Amino acid sequence: MNLPGQPPKQGARSLDPHLRRYAARTAGMTASEIRALFAVASRPEVVSLAGGMPHLAALPLDSLSAEVGELIATDGLVALQYGSAHGVPELREQICEVMALEGIKAHPDDVVVTVGSQMGLDMVTRIFCDPGDVVLAEGPSYVGALGSFSAYQAQVVHVAMDADGLVPENLREAIASVERAGRRIKFLYTIPNFHNPAGVTLAVARRAEVLEICRAHGILVVEDNPYGLLGFDGVTYPALRSTDPDNVVYLGSFSKTFAAGLRVGWVLAPHAVREKLVLAAESATLCPPTLNQMIVSRYLATHDWKGQIKTYREAYRERRDAAISALEQHMPVGSTWNKPSGGFYVWITVPEGIDTKAMLPRAVTQRVAYASGTGFYADGLGSRQLRISYCYPTPERIREGVRRLANVLKDEMEL
Ligand code: PMP
């Protein structure tokens, strides 16, 4: 492990002339396996079940383009100008209306607009974590969050889930063992709904217990909820934030419900924390892009955004069904997976003896890409798991991709 101030350990034969200059925290910055294979994996003949790109073809591009043109024509001098680090006031009010769908009562002052919820994750980690602090996170967990934690040299302790999400008893045990080791836990990072990558949802009956455990141990909860409105049965679960506003920092995003490329997300934080977040945001970006915030604001005011979410939900449900039926039809004996009730992902355990990371280059040669499980753990687990995303390819491509994946697995079993 690198200590603060030490240069990162890198291959002795690296040709990088700046090697000795990098901060110690860069040692934890590593490219995902799929990024390393990106050039091959993004060829059209490869079915990529790897990334989590939303299905933007479902958007009303013509009317959006007219709105954006009109926005610049009428409000261009504001939209193209710097704004406040806190975010556009009208958008912050609208965000409160969006969160009300999950039972959250919020004041617009406590909302900080971010460049996607990824920036929210970075800022929350920046203001809370010193090197060596512990962050609890579900095992597996979102790869981008693990990247932020490692960039600030926080240590992740995973809490295992079951089909109903985070297991309260496992949470208690993880806290006890970290406390026994005399380490400081800064927060629990959790994705309660339609988990990335595990696809599971935290049972409503467990939510109060998870909050209570964290409160009893003085642990803040960071609730990351980009998929909460994408439940296939039309069910919207109550946010953790809705029952414990003083101890939950909530991360939201328009990436999955509207347009990821606009990079507009938000953090809803307890009042005191919000001040620190605004300062952190200011030093990172000065302000989130004004034009993009105004596009989102106008979209929420003039479009049937709830209808759009319904359109997305239906498209994703159809794709989920295509993925599940293809898995049932093709996967070799010894593989298991869950059936997600929302979101983008299926988490698959492959037959014993197969290493999904080692298999990935062979899969790409067979024209299918996935995300191997190890990227979703900070502690080396996950080599028998992989994640497939059904959000982007058409149902037909998904079926073909799963068929190819199953064939690669069958070939591996014969090796
Ligand atoms: N959290 C989770 C769980 C995610 O899956 C993602 C994107 N895949 C993000 C945060 C970041 O989303 P964005 O920055 O686009 O809002």
The string of pLDDT tens digits covering residues 272-301 is 999 999 999 999 999 999 999 999 999 999
**385-401: average pLDDT:** 97
**Ligand 1 pocket, residue 133 CB under 6 Å:** no
**Gap from CA of 15 to ligand 1 centroid (Å):** 33
Top mutation candidate among 32, 224, 296, 316 for ligand 1, by most atoms within 8 Å of CB: 224
**Gap from CA of 50 to ligand 1 centroid (Å):** 15
Burial of 18 (0-12, 13-18, 19+ CB in 10 A): exposed
**Ligand 1 pocket, residue 376 CB under 6 Å:** no
**Ligand 1 pocket, residue 52 CB under 6 Å:** yes
**Gap from CA of 52 to ligand 1 centroid (Å):** 9
Cα separation, 73 vs 387, whole angstroms: 44
Top mutation candidate among 255, 389, 390 for ligand 1, by most atoms within 8 Å of CB: 255
Which atom of ligand 1 is nearest the CA belonging to 265?
16
pLDDT band at 39 (very low <50, low <70, confident <90, very high): confident
pTM above 0.80, yes or no: yes
Top mutation candidate among 202, 253, 285 for ligand 1, by most atoms within 8 Å of CB: 253
Nearest residue (by CA) to ligand 1, atom 5, is 196
**377-404: average pLDDT:** 97
What residues contact 214, with CB distance under 8 A and at least 6 apart?
Answer: 171, 188, 220, 221, 247
The string of pLDDT tens digits covering residues 342-376 is 999 999 999 999 999 999 999 999 999 999 999 99
**Ligand 1 pocket, residue 142 CB under 6 Å:** yes
What residues contact 226, with CB distance under 8 A and at least 6 apart?
Answer: 117, 196, 251, 252, 253, 255, 256, 265
Weakest mean pLDDT among 18-32, 83-97, 195-209: 18-32
Average pLDDT, the chain: 94
pLDDT at 68: 97
pLDDT band at 58 (very low <50, low <70, confident <90, very high): confident
pLDDT at 3: 39
**Ligand 1 pocket, residue 33 CB under 6 Å:** no
Cα separation, 186 vs 341, whole angstroms: 31
Furthest CA-CA distance within the chain: 65
pLDDT band at 34 (very low <50, low <70, confident <90, very high): low
**328-353: average pLDDT:** 97
The string of pLDDT tens digits covering residues 216-242 is 999 999 999 999 999 999 899 999 999
Q: Which two tokens stand for residue 95?
A: 């965000």
pLDDT at 40: 76
Does the pLDDT of residue 77 top 90, yes or no?
yes
Cα separation, 56 vs 234, whole angstroms: 20
**Ligand 1 pocket, residue 265 CB under 6 Å:** yes
Q: Which residue has the tokens 């507009």?
A: 264
Per-position b or e across 206-218, b if 16+ CB within 10 A of its CB: bbeebbebbeeee
Does the pLDDT of residue 127 top 50, yes or no?
yes
Model-level ipTM above the cut of 0.85: yes
% of the chain residues with pLDDT over 90: 89
pLDDT band at 9 (very low <50, low <70, confident <90, very high): low
Q: Which two tokens stand for residue 324?
A: 């599940």
Closest CA to 175 of 202, 213, 139, 223: 213
Does the pLDDT of residue 123 top 80, yes or no?
yes
Sign of torsion over alpha carbons 167, 390, 382, 146: negative
**301-315: average pLDDT:** 96
**Gap from CA of 60 to ligand 1 centroid (Å):** 23
**Gap from CA of 358 to ligand 1 centroid (Å):** 26
Cα separation, 277 vs 35, whole angstroms: 30
**Gap from CA of 125 to ligand 1 centroid (Å):** 15
The string of pLDDT tens digits covering residues 164-180 is 999 999 999 999 999 99
**Ligand 1 pocket, residue 196 CB under 6 Å:** yes
**161-165: average pLDDT:** 97
Asked whether the beta carbons of 203 and 163 are under 8 A apart, the reply is: no
Q: Which two tokens stand for residue 362?
A: 């062979």
**Ligand 1 pocket, residue 224 CB under 6 Å:** yes
Closest CA to 366 of 415, 330, 319, 406: 406
**238-255: average pLDDT:** 97
φ, ψ of residue 389 in degrees (nearest 5): -110, 130
